[in-house]
Amino acid sequence: MSGLSATRCGLPKESVAENGAPPRGKVLTIDTMNPTVKMVEYAVRGPIVQRAVELEKELSEGRKKPFQEVIKANIGDAHAMGQQPITFFRQVLALCSYPELLNDSTFPEDAKSRARRILQSCGGNSMGSYSASQGIDSVRQDVARYVQQRDGGVYCDPDNIYLTTGASDGIVTMLKLLVCGEGASRTGVMISIPQYPLYSAALAELGAVQINYYLNEEACWSMDIGELQRALDEARGHCNPRALCIINPGNPTGQVQNRKCIEDVIRFAAKERLFLMADEVYQDNVYADGCEFHSFKKVLFEMGPEYSNTVELASFHSTSKCYMGECGFRGGYMEIINMDDEVKAQLTKLVSVRLCPPVPGQALMGLVVNPPQPGEPSHENFMKERTATLSALADKARLTEEVLNTVPGISCNPVQGAMYSFPRISIPEKAVKEAAGQGQQPDMFYCMRLLEETGICLVPGSGFGQKDGTYHFRMTILPPADKLKILLSKVKEFHQRFTKQYS
């Protein structure tokens, strides 16, 4: 926030009226507002999505369009694309919302016992009470048990678990703790390019320095230590690099990092004294043969005490993705490893100002980490629903890659995990020029045209970052199979038409 002249943020030109009459001109204008907020960008809900909403409105008003419906593949919003909630989770949430239902014999016993456990941990047995700012104790205990089991027994301390308002809240809170310094000693944070724009938005708002490291598209969006080193060395001159963010499985790029890569990254972070932030919200979304999710924490502890006792790590999870897709509840947690005790006390104080994360989201997070067990009445149906959702996603991941790779001028890495493909698209020189003429990024121009001509809403690669001179779009694999097929064939037709027109 340095370098702002007093005039820009000082009193507006008009002198203050002394006669008590209201003076002209606003107190808060684009010139006198927080300049870091102006630097924030968030493509996932940017202009293209606003236009998609307008088009839906125009269609509903009967306006003629070259398409019957808008298909949104811009955001990882599973239920909006027709994915069904997990019955057990919703039964427990209904029981917690209206406990009279605990007397309803149609609800299974395991749902009732989960609901009782949650309500007993709520003040006055009500989800309407504030929880502890760090989150409901019993939920944090269940999260710890889940993480420990996931990581092959590596100990997880419930005191290191903080429940959050979705993963975004935890990520921004951690970045907030890390930001400090002015000028050349300002905190720098390494993020992948392509990235999920929450990171660039938060860093802009916090006035931190964004350090870009590029994922290797040629090697299926893998991380390359040489590239991390290059980015870090170039940054050292003008900022103080203190943190390294990894999204695995990847958003927007859909890769799953292998164990060796994660080890190398941990070694790099240890050597370069970087705080690791592992965004692992897609940990159950792994589709490709031979791919497996490895949590940073598990790998860290398997590397032995010289790493597990020193490397500082925050890992983030959420109710919004995986097989549950419960975005609207804004549930999540973060686990912090090797955090300095005084800093941890500051973190606990900081989260207390916002009182607590939403309790229904906390309850849902608690169910995700403590689902029906074998022998419980709801187990069979839970597994059926979970498996059906994940295998449908796996099928759509394969279908997306296959179809896009049949299009000349589109090349798509395998969607190994997460919920997105990030194909590279060739855009003819003529189109690049026309985009420039309209002051648009070429892939924004491309996606806008796609939307206007086909009703398909994708996000341009420029919203996530990409190597100069390359163009991409991010597309979710969430639409139902039949709609996804239509979407892919329309993209195929459009790309051929677009390429022909501008060649």
Q: Site residues for its own copies, window 275-294 (CB under 8 A)?
A: 275
The CA-atom distances, in angstroms, between 464 and each of 41, 444, 461 are 10, 12, 5
- Can residue 352 be called a binding residue for its own copies (CB under 8 A)? yes
The CA-atom distances, in angstroms, between 339 and each of 272, 308, 346 are 17, 12, 11
Task: Kindly indicate which of the ranges 165-173, 209-217, 403-411, 463-471 contains the residues binding its own copies, using the contact rule CB under 8 A.
Answer: 165-173
Binding residue (CB under 8 A) for its own copies from 29, 68, 105, 120: 29
- Can residue 501 be called a binding residue for its own copies (CB under 8 A)? no
- Can residue 272 be called a binding residue for its own copies (CB under 8 A)? yes
* Close Cβ partners of 161 (under 8 Å, ≥ 6 residues apart): 134, 135, 140, 143, 144, 147, 333, 334, 335
Binding residue (CB under 8 A) for its own copies from 74, 160, 164, 165: 165
- Can residue 381 be called a binding residue for its own copies (CB under 8 A)? no
Take residue 248 and report the two structure tokens written for it: 């695995």
Binding residue (CB under 8 A) for its own copies from 59, 101, 448, 486: 101
Q: For CA atoms 251, 252, 254, 256, give the dihedral sign.
A: negative
- State the nearest-atom distance from the C-beta of 468 to its own copies, in Å: 25
Task: Kindly indicate which of the ranges 123-131, 370-378, 428-436, 458-466 contains the residues binding its own copies, using the contact rule CB under 8 A.
Answer: 123-131
φ and ψ of 351, to 5 deg: -70, -25
- Can residue 468 be called a binding residue for its own copies (CB under 8 A)? no
Q: Can you say how many angstroms the Cα of residue 358 is from the centroid of all Cα atoms in its chain?
A: 18
Select 165 or 255, whichever has its Cβ closest to its own copies: 165
Looking up tokens 């001159």 gives: 237
Task: Kindly indicate which of the ranges 12-20, 397-405, 443-451, 484-492 contains the residues binding its own copies, using the contact rule CB under 8 A.
Answer: 12-20
- Can residue 38 be called a binding residue for its own copies (CB under 8 A)? yes
DSSP 40-94: ---GGGSHHHHHHHHHHHHHHTT---SSS--EE-SS--TGGGTPPPPHHHHHHHH
Looking up tokens 């059906």 gives: 388
Binding residue (CB under 8 A) for its own copies from 65, 116, 145, 176: 176
- Can residue 436 be called a binding residue for its own copies (CB under 8 A)? no
CA–CA dist 380, 187 (Å, integer): 49
Q: For CA atoms 220, 399, 191, 355, give the dihedral sign.
A: negative
- State the nearest-atom distance from the C-beta of 112 to its own copies, in Å: 13
Q: For CA atoms 393, 251, 201, 446, give the dihedral sign.
A: negative
- State the nearest-atom distance from the C-beta of 153 to its own copies, in Å: 23
- State the nearest-atom distance from the C-beta of 435 to its own copies, in Å: 22
- Coil, helix or strand for 260? helix
- Coil, helix or strand for 238? coil
Binding residue (CB under 8 A) for its own copies from 55, 73, 78, 261: 78
299-318 residues near its own copies, rule: CB under 8 A: 306-307, 310-312
Select 221 or 307, whichever has its Cβ closest to its own copies: 307
**What x-and-dash track marks residues 360-379 binding its own copies by CB under 8 A?**
xx------------------
- State the nearest-atom distance from the C-beta of 127 to its own copies, in Å: 5
Take residue 167 and report the two structure tokens written for it: 């993963």
For residue 143, give the amino acid letter.
V
- Can residue 325 be called a binding residue for its own copies (CB under 8 A)? yes
Asked if residues 102 and 118 have their Cβ atoms less than 8 Å apart, the reply is no
- Can residue 326 be called a binding residue for its own copies (CB under 8 A)? yes
The three-point CA angle 178-312-269 to 5° equals 90
395-414 residues near its own copies, rule: CB under 8 A: none
Q: For CA atoms 18, 22, 28, 30, give the dihedral sign.
A: negative
Q: Which own/partner contact pairs does 181-187 have at CB distance under 8 Å and 24+ positions apart? A: 181/240, 182/2, 183/2, 184/237, 184/238, 184/239, 184/240, 185/239, 185/240, 186/239, 186/240, 187/239, 187/240, 187/242, 187/243
CA–CA dist 223, 443 (Å, integer): 24
- Can residue 128 be called a binding residue for its own copies (CB under 8 A)? yes
CA–CA dist 457, 43 (Å, integer): 12
Binding residue (CB under 8 A) for its own copies from 71, 118, 143, 177: 177
- State the nearest-atom distance from the C-beta of 393 to its own copies, in Å: 16
Task: Kindly indicate which of the ranges 38-46, 144-152, 409-417, 431-439 contains the residues binding its own copies, using the contact rule CB under 8 A.
Answer: 38-46
Select 79 or 145, whichever has its Cβ closest to its own copies: 79
Q: What is the largest CA-CA distance in the chain?
A: 78
Residues touching its own copies, count (CB under 8 A): 121
Task: Kindly indicate which of the ranges 250-258, 341-349, 386-394, 459-467 contains the residues binding its own copies, using the contact rule CB under 8 A.
Answer: 341-349
Task: Kindly indicate which of the ranges 181-189, 279-287, 374-382, 442-450 contains the residues binding its own copies, using the contact rule CB under 8 A.
Answer: 181-189
**What x-and-dash track marks residues 219-258 binding its own copies by CB under 8 A?**
---------------------x-xx---------------
- Can residue 445 be called a binding residue for its own copies (CB under 8 A)? no
Task: Kindly indicate which of the ranges 40-48, 385-393, 438-446, 489-497 contains the residues binding its own copies, using the contact rule CB under 8 A.
Answer: 40-48
